[in-house]
């Protein structure tokens, strides 16, 4: 294909990528944005496949068939509750693919075409480092989200110093490769150390900080792809990787602000550190927890003017989004205002709750951000919390020894009455007790989230 046409189609693909990301900034345009990005990727793939430098399509065809089968299987079998784990895996696959491209380029091109140029060597080293860190870091994130590893921060004394030594060693090996004094053994050692670095960077991060880590690893996978684009001389890969990397960093920054964390804390694996002892669960609850029933809660709702529903990971686990929508419809038929209060890190990945509620066709204008809904809680009659443990925990405001101290939360405790739908008093993903459960204005509605909400809806309808 003519080089001018190739560059023109790559430019079109890049414009579709930018338009797609722009569309993803708003729920109403998200589907169209996703479609634009998909068309852009199709254009880029087709143009690349028509490149005259491709001599054989057998391996490409085999990869397409195998990848399509795996992707279809994952898309149809993975539950919504497991989406954070799937996102973590996809980030890791992206980093692993870039890592393989870099290694193959060094081992293959150097021998075939003589010494590699400076730009190619720098790009290979950057791709190796970022790709390896993304691969193993995402694997650790997956294991924590899947509860194969404990969700709390893990590590050992001096882990930050260990990470620094690893990073310096990787840079030294990269310098050796770039200068031309390194060989394939240097490449292997660099890759191994970078893989270890990915593990030790993510292990100390856990609990409520995991959504931030997922956003950061997504950025890493984009940066690795961009660096791989320099190796291959593929401009559209550079552009698309840079877009993913930049948007991932911006999202990470937004999530850090929402968590009251520092970006350097994420980058160097120093999040989730406590400043002192955390309150014991028995001390927090001290026999003050009050259990309720759907009938009692329905009587509270009967006289309410405004109800705020606060979804969390418990809603996702119970697949209760449609039941919640039915409850809201029943309340609105009685003239009660119903809105949804969404914390930016509720669930286990950015936007988790937005996706669930959109699946249940909850109107976008009823989904309020943390800043918007916090201004309304003092004028709210009933706040219904469904599994949103960490993002409603007053420890973030009151307990300086808590790992989540300083994190902005949804101030549901300021509502006239708080109803918490939960299976038990077990802690959330951060592993912390929640003093909210023992507050005078809090009632616990124990049980499976979906079943409890359906029973509450039935009780509300009976009072009509």
Helices (H), strands (E): how many in the chain?
A: 18, 6
Angle between helices 352-359 and 321-333 (to 10 degrees): 60
Distance CA 145, CA 127 (A): 26
Active site residue 51: no
Which of 390, 413, 440, 448 is catalytic? The answer is: 390
DSSP 415: S
DSSP 55: -
Residue 51: CB atoms within 10 Å? 10
Which single residue is written with the structure tokens 């009967």? Answer: 302
Distance CA 412, CA 391 (A): 10
Contacts of 145 (CB under 8 A, 6+ apart): 84, 85, 88, 151, 210, 348
Cα 194 to chain centroid distance, Å, stands at: 22
Cα 293 to chain centroid distance, Å, stands at: 34
Contact between 255 and 215 under an 8 Å Cβ cutoff? The reply is: yes
CA-nearest of 66, 217, 71 to 132 is 217
| Residue 291 β-bridge partners | 444
Q: Which two tokens stand for residue 290?
A: 């009050």
Cα 24 to chain centroid distance, Å, stands at: 15
Could you list the active site residues? Answer: 390
């Amino acid at each position: 294909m003519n080089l001018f046409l190739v560059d023109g189609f790559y430019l079109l693909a890049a414009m579709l990528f930018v338009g797609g990301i722009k569309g993803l900034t708003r729920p109403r345009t998200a589907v169209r944005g996703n479609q634009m990005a998909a068309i852009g990727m199709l254009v880029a793939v087709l143009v690349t496949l028509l490149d005259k430098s491709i001599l054989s399509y057998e391996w490409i065809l085999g990869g397409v068939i195998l990848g399509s089968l795996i992707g279809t299987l994952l898309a149809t079998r993975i539950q919504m509750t497991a989406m954070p784990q799937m996102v973590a895996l996809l980030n890791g696959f992206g980093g692993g693919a870039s890592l393989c491209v870099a290694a193959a380029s060094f081992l293959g091109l150097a021998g075939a075409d003589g010494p590699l140029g400076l730009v190619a060597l720098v790009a290979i080293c950057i791709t190796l480092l970022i790709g390896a860190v993304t691969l193993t870091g995402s694997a650790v994130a997956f294991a924590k989200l899947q509860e194969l590893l404990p969700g709390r921060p893990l590590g050992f004394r001096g882990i930050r110093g260990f990470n620094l030594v690893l990073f310096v060693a990787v840079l030294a090996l990269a310098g050796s490769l770039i200068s031309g004094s390194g060989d394939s053994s240097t490449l292997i050692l660099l890759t191994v150390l970078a893989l270890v670095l990915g593990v030790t960077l993510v292990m100390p991060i856990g609990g409520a900080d995991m959504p931030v880590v997922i956003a950061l690893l997504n950025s890493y996978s984009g940066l690795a792809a961009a660096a791989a684009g320099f190796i291959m001389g593929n401009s559209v890969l550079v552009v698309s990787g840079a877009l993913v990397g930049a948007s991932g960093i911006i999202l990470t920054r937004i999530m850090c602000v929402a968590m009251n964390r520092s970006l350097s804390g994420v980058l160097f694996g120093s999040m989730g550190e406590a400043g002192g002892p955390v309150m014991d669960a028995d001390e927090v609850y001290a026999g003050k927890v009050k259990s309720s029933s759907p009938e009692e809660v329905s009587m509270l709702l009967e006289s309410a003017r405004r109800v705020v529903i606060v979804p969390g990971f418990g809603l996702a686990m119970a697949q209760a989004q449609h039941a919640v929508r039915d409850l809201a419809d029943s309340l609105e038929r009685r003239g009660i205002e119903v809105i949804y209060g969404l914390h930016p890190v509720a669930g286990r990945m950015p936007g988790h709750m937005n996706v669930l509620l959109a699946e249940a066709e909850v109107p976008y204008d009823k989904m309020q951000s943390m800043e918007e809904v916090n201004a309304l809680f003092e004028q709210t009659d009933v706040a219904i919390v469904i599994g949103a443990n960490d993002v409603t925990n007053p420890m973030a405001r009151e307990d300086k020894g808590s790992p989540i101290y300083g994190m902005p939360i949804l101030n549901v405790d300021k509502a006239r009455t708080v109803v918490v739908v939960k299976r038990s008093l077990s802690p959330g993903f951060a592993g912390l007790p929640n003093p909210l459960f023992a507050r005078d204005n809090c009632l616990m509605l124990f049980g499976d989230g979906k079943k409890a909400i359906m029973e509450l809806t039935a009780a509300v309808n009976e009072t009509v």
